[in-house]
């Protein structure tokens, strides 16, 4: 048994943090490659990839850090991800022209086994369960 | 890249990953089995890196983009050591699950590397 008060970074939260970290790594790797090799081909999609990568990195840090401010940052970034995957996922289906190249969020994250779609929901449930006591 | 070696590597990573997740959910702390399996996944990646560097000299070159291939490979090589350090520091069952997740991520990335090297889809 642990005597420290429960935070976002204990128990199952640790697995969540690692999955977020891996997704951050995957998004960063992809956007590095896209921007380094063929930025001109699809500037919008690639800028979006880079933005997604940054948001995943911030979300990972916010899950690790303690305190109310980071708790809000975690909600904001995870909410942004859910919004991103829903908006970009829908746009990529109805207007494929806009997304000739892939982003993590295209087609609801199909290229990443739908992890980008499921993860924010799991993250929000986790944040709710581990909300700071008033 | 050698086809049979790559498939063997994906197989080992999937087995190691599922095993560690199962043992972790079974409340096992990281032990010699799960840490060892993750270490094996890491060693196979280093061998894959050497194979990838050497094989073009033997007429076995990637059909796809080399930069993309190495972005995956270098990232993948970093994952098992991080997971192992995590498993040694964080002595809870969740660290065992972390080892498993890391191995599965490596399996996916090696499969993507296989696609880039052998099959050019896009």
The ipTM of this complex is 0.76
B70 touches chain A (CB under 8 A): no
Q: What is the pLDDT of residues A100-113, one digit of tens each?
A: 666 778 888 877 77
CB of A112 closer than 8 Å to CB of A23: yes
- pLDDT cut 90: percent of chain B above it: 75
How far apart CA A98 and CA A46 sit, in angstroms, is 11
Angle formed at CA B5 by CA B65 and CA B100, multiple of 5 degrees: 90
Instruction: Please tell me which residue of chain B has the smallest CA distance to A18.
Output: B98
A51-96 residue pLDDT tens = 889 999 999 999 888 888 999 999 999 999 999 889 988 888 887 7
Contacts of A46 in chain B (CB under 8 A): none
Q: Which of A18, A29, A112 to mutate to test the interface with B (most CBs of B within 10 A)?
A: A18
pLDDT tens per residue, range B67-111: 889 989 999 999 999 999 999 988 899 999 999 999 999 999 999
Nearest CA in chain A to B112: A111
**What is residue B55's DSSP assignment?**
G
Residue B39 is predicted with a pLDDT of 96
- pLDDT for residue B18: 96
Residues on chain B touching A53 (C-beta within 8 angstroms): none
Structure-token pair, residue B82 = 């991080």
Name the average pLDDT for chain B.
92
As a whole number of angstroms, the distance between CA B1 and CA A126 comes to: 41
3-state secondary structure of A60: helix
- Contact with chain A for residue B68, Cβ under 8 A: yes
A13-53 tens-digit pLDDT: 888 999 898 888 888 888 888 888 877 777 887 888 888 89
Q: Please, which pLDDT band fits residue A3 given cuts at 50, 70 and 90?
A: very low
Alpha-carbon distance of B80 to B106, in angstroms, equals 8
The DSSP letter of residue A109 is: G
User: Structural domains in chain B?
Assistant: 3-118 (1.20.120)
pTM for the complete prediction? 0.82
CA distance A105 to A110: 8
Per the CB < 8 A criterion, the answer to whether A102 and A109 are in contact is no
Give which of A7, A10, A14, A36 to mutate to test B binding, by max B Cβ within 10 Å.
A14
CA distance A115 to A117: 5
């Amino acid at each position: 048994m642990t005597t420290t008060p429960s935070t976002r970074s204990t128990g199952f939260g640790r697995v969540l943090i690692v999955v977020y970290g891996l997704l951050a790594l995957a998004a960063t790797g992809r956007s590095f490659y896209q921007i380094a090799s063929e930025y001109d081909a699809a500037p919008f999609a690639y800028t979006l990839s880079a933005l997604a990568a940054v948001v995943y990195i911030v979300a990972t840090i916010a899950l690790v850090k303690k305190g109310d401010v980071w708790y809000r940052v975690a909600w904001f970034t995870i909410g942004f991800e859910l919004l991103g995957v829903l908006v970009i996922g829908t746009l990529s289906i109805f207007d494929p022209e806009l997304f000739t190249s892939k982003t993590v969020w295209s087609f609801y994250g199909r290229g990443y086994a739908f992890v980008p779609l499921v993860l924010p929901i799991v993250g929000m449930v986790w944040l709710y369960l581990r909300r700071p006591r008033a | 890249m050698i086809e049979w070696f790559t498939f063997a590597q994906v197989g080992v990573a999937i087995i190691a990953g599922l095993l560690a997740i199962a043992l972790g959910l079974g409340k096992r702390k990281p032990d010699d089995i799960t840490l060892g399996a993750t270490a094996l996944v890491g060693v196979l990646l280093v061998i894959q890196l050497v194979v990838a560097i050497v094989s073009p000299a033997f007429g076995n070159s990637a059909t796809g983009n080399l930069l993309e291939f190495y972005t995956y490979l270098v990232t993948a090589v970093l994952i098992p050591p991080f997971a192992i350090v995590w498993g040694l520091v964080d002595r809870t069952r969740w660290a065992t699950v972390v080892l498993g997740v890391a191995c599965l991520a490596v399996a996916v990335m090696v499969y993507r590397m296989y696609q880039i090297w052998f099959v050019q889809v896009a």
